[in-house]
Structure 1
Amino acid sequence: MSFLKQIVAFSLLLALLSGCASTQDPSTWSAKRFYDEARDAMEVEDYQSAIKYYEDLEIHHPFSPFAQQAQLEVIYAYYKYDEPESAIAAADRYIKLYPRAADVDYAYYLRGLVSFERGMGSLDLWLGLEADRRQPQSARNAYRYFEELIKRFPDSRYVADAKQRMLHLRNQLARYELNVADYYFRRGAYLSAANRAKYALENYPQTPAIPDALVIMIKAYRRLGVADLAADALEVMQLNYPDHEALNQLN
């Protein structure tokens, strides 16, 4: 190869390497390139990479139409990557920035979903013997978030699922209150036991935990010597749950 041809070949190689380097430098990417890379990562469940692409898109192209979509989709990416705090923060941010966006109901739904799954996992622990020392805040937040979704967007496609999850949350939260009431009762804190059972009765009516909550109320009031309140609770029990197995012992 002649010297001239060697120079030309070397120049072409440098140009090729330079071109490859520039395409690999994220600062030179278009907003669509970031978005496409993020979507590709989501497709293969590489949520960590997807999060980085979504975040880089917003950094390099904050005013691009893709940036708003990235801010919505990163909520789900955080959720799947098991970063609930980041997911909820991202949902809150999207709701604040784009309150009238056509898809903002999805942000409301995801915020509830993240809190729901976080709360359900924790409630399994809270239903233990030390239940009074823990508060199922994530489960309560999930209920509130779903409630807000239904109130603001009654025609949303996510409402049906939200309602089903709220029903499950009500049952679980009622069980939690019942468990705490039982915890207090077994330790002789009868007033606290009666109050927690009453709280379950007033806040989670028509849940499976209610008859057992009434049983605790009756027993606690009797231990406290408050016969009239015990009689009232027993009357409610007899009218609404006449077949409950505990009635034979309470009458």
Structure 2
Amino acid sequence: MKRFVVGMLMAASLAACSTTTEPKDETRGWPVERLYYEAREELNSSNYTRSIQLYETLEARYPYGRFAQQAQMDLAYAHYKEQEPALALAAIDRFMKLYPAHPNLDYMYYLKGLVNYNDDGGIFARFTGQDRAERDPKSAREAFLAFSELVKRFPDSKYSADATKKMGDLVKGLAENELYVARHYMKRKAYVAAINRAQQVIKEFSSTEYVEESLAIMVSGYDALGQTQLRDDAKRVLAKNYPDSRYLTQAWQPRDVPWYQFW
């Protein structure tokens, strides 16, 4: 009997502890309107973690309707501002799949471009000390695709002008990245890889300032490989397009420059 009484007391004590330590949900019973406007207020105040919590609560309790749709868009933006690009992109892609004809789809394309454009792991992370030849330009390419889709599908969107400007920056950055890698390979005497990268610049980024040096790299690369015909062909193209190029009188040479010097 004594053992039974002790067991009952312990059980009651544990139950009391679990009751007193259970976190209180202050949003219990809130209507969808209050949840949304509280989340929006937190977002506008830059309290992104709290706004994310409230938007997720709204989605869980009220998964349908205009507040749920707006909450999903705001949630993607909140993740972006909280520097959580993977979560932001996941939220954007989910929204696009659920609402392919939504009137604010142009904004979601713009936001998708911004998330990738400002991704610190991309080619615009210029002040990290990382060798640019080692960077993956995937984020920059994804940003370009999102912006180009926005401009193509929604030419009159208020976001199209900035998207077009950023596309120009991206083209220049991607071309610079390809050229830097070509230089990197030339310095290591990986001539075939260097030529391939230089050809990529000429093919994809023909409007940029990096074509001249890319042709010069091809001339030097083919010369090092003993491919005289291809060398002469590349040099003729260089002379035709850049008759005053210094590379017509002096061969391309690798330059040792600091990682932070772009040109």
**Counterpart in 1 of 2:107?**
106
Q: Displacement, 1:178?
A: 0.7
Structure-to-structure mapping, 1:1-251, within 5 angstroms? 25-118=26-119, 119-122=122-125, 128=131, 131=133, 133-250=134-251
- 1:178 & 1:243 partners in 2: Cα distance? 21
Per-residue deviation, 1:216? 0.5
How far did 1:123 drift?
6.1
Instruction: Tell me how far 1:125 sits from its aligned partner.
Output: 6.0
Letter of the aligned partner of 2:131 in structure 1?
A: G
Query: Secondary structure of 1:51's match?
Result: helix
More divergent stretch after superposition (143-152 vs 169-178): 143-152
Aligned CA distance change for structure 1 residues 193 and 126 (closer, same or farther; 3 Å): farther
Change in CA separation of 1:208 and 1:121 when aligned onto 2, cut-off 3 Å = same
Which structure has the highest helix share of the two?
A: 1
User: How far is 1:127 from its partner?
Assistant: 7.3
Q: For the structure 1 residues 200 and 188, does the alpha-carbon distance in structure 2 shift closer, same or farther, using more than 3 Å as the test?
A: same
Per-residue Cα deviation, 1:173-207 (whole angstroms, up to 9, x for no partner): 11111111111111111111111101111011111
- The answer (yes or no) to whether the contact 2:123–2:174 under 8 Å persists in 1 is no
Deviation at 1:145, TM superposition (A): 1.4
Deviation digits for residues 142-166 of structure 1 (CA, Å, limit 9, x no counterpart): 1111122222222222111111111
Q: Does the residue aligned with 1:207 lie in a helix, a strand or coil?
A: coil
Task: Give unpaired runs (5+ residues) of structure 2.
Answer: 1-23, 253-263
Q: Which amino acid aligns with 2:209?
A: P
- CA distance in 1 between counterparts of 2:140 and 2:180 reads 16
Residue by residue over 1:89-128, the C-alpha shift from the partner in whole angstroms, topping out at 9 and shown as x without a partner, is 1110111111111101111110111001113444666972
CA distance in 1, matches of 2:178, 2:238: 18
* Contact 2:123–2:177, Cα closer than 8 Å, also in 1: no
Q: Percent identity?
A: 42
The residue type equivalent to 2:70 in the other structure is Q
Report the RMSD for the aligned CA atoms in angstroms.
2.1
Write the distance in 2 (CA, Å) between the matches of 1:52 and 1:208: 47
* Closer/same/farther in 2, CA of residues 126 and 209 from structure 1, 3 Å limit: farther
Contact 1:123/1:176 (CA < 8 Å) preserved in 2?
no
Q: Secondary structure at the match of 1:26?
A: coil
Residue 258 of structure 2: aligned partner = none
Decide whether the 8 Å contact of 1:126 with 1:134 is kept in 2.
no
Letter in 2 for 1:193: A
SS in 1 for 2:243: coil
One-letter amino acid of the structure 2 residue matched with residue 70 of structure 1? A
Structure 2 Cα separation of the partners of residues 123 and 170 of structure 1: 16
Q: Which amino acid is 2:57 matched to?
A: D
Distance 1:79 1:154 in 2: 24
Map of 2:20 onto structure 1: none
User: So what's the TM-score if we normalise by structure 2?
Assistant: 0.80
Confirm or deny: 8 A CA contact 2:219 2:234 kept in the other structure. Answer: yes
CA offset digits 1:4-33 (Å, max 9, x no partner): xxxxxxxxxxxxxxxxxxx97312001111
Runs of 5+ consecutive residues of structure 1 not aligned to the other structure: 1-22
SS of the aligned residue for 2:28 comes to helix
Structure 1 length-normalised TM = 0.84
Aligned counterparts of 1:64 and 1:53: Cα–Cα separation in 2: 16
